[in-house]
Amino acid sequence: MEGESTPAAADGPLQGITVIDLSRALAGPHAAMMLGDLGARVIKVETPNGGDESRSWGTIVGPAENPESTYFLSCNRNKESVTADLKTTDGVELLTRLTQTADVLIENFRPGVMDRLGFSATRLHQLNPRLVVLSISGFGHDGPQGGRAGYDQIAQGEAGLMSLTGPDAETPLRVGTPIGDVLAGMYGAFGVVAALQGRERTGQGDIVRTSLLGAIVGVHAFHGTRYTVAGEVGHGTGNQHPAIAPYGLFHCADGALQVAVANDGLWRKFCDIVDLNADDPRFVNNAARFTHRDDLTTDIEQRLATNTRSHWLKLLDDAGIPCGQVRSLDQVYNDEQTRSQGLLLTVEHDALGEITIPGPPLRFQHNPRRAHTAPPQLGQHNTTVRTWLKDIDHVH
């Protein structure tokens, strides 16, 4: 492909690890991107006709003859792209060679697709006994719904998350980001790193499986034990915490702020600032405050309405009470604290030029990945990867 470039050699804790990314959309690509952020070489294998379907999703930018999707850009940094039709002899040969060479293979096809392509788990480990395979599905790889297709919002509903997110029990809401996909990718990447460590001990690869269902159930946190132990079914409580008060969003004279009063020491400090009676029997401890939360919210907002958000935020922050405002994304990305944490990267994209993209949330003091690359164009590294495989064959 014209403009083909070779990615900069990466350092980082996973330097020397090669990942084959057969996945598309978000869950698998996010897992592969996390491994790439850690220094692994990630080779994304895409269909020749259009590639990853997310290349056509969301806001499209760039020249008309070479458009790029901001959705695709969000989950494919630090990767190379090669094209292959896995139903052809050439595609099968390419994937076979990559499998024999790689440390990790990631796929998020519906259960059974890899088998039909001729790359079952058994076959993959025949080709490479040390291979770690990450397989992500919608609802699990077995069980009564093992073959069910899964997309994020469907899983958010089926796995209970929407029932916990709305303003009340009758108004479920989806989380504003595709959190099921991202969580499955995060759990998957965690599983891969664990399996790579296990391989150091056993010499054998492994099959790591997770699902959107499993990932969302995995973050139910106290809502899970609230049901399994106490028999209580949680529901949406809007912007108020379902177990702690006062903990949530409150309105001031010129907008809203958030405050988290998670213990009685903070409660007394909070009362001194907003002029409430800390010993009011209705609010004397968290159980009482939670029982009388509506009254408490009314009293707090009456006090906060007497001054501005900035006034209250300074007093609360000076007192060590966790607090904050609700920011829009432009405010977040232009905030100095965000930038100070390395959460923005400037990379050179072959079609778009210099662009800024969100960066990895992990930081390493001694061995970070220092050079990051832009998400690849479709087939950008066809020649690079195939030449690399030929060179390996010549060496052996």
What are the catalytic residues? 181
Count CB atoms within 10 A of the CB of residue 23: 26
- Name the token pair of 144: 């009564």
- What whole-number distance in Å separates Cα of residue 322 and Cα of residue 373? 37
Angle between helical axes of 179-202 and 27-37 (0-180°, round to 10): 50
* Sheet of strand 104-107, all strands in order from the earlier edge strand to the far edge: 80-83, 41-46, 18-21, 104-107, 132-137, 206-211
Count CB atoms within 10 A of the CB of residue 280: 15
Q: Give the CA distances from residue 251 to residues 62, 263, 379, in Å, rounded to whole numbers and listed in that order.
A: 41, 22, 51
Sign of CA dihedral 382, 385, 386, 388: positive
- Name the token pair of 371: 């050079």
Which residue has 């009470």 as its token pair? 321
**Cα 8–Cα 32–Cα 379 angle in degrees, nearest 5:** 60
Query: What's the first-to-final CA gap in the chain, in angstroms?
Result: 28
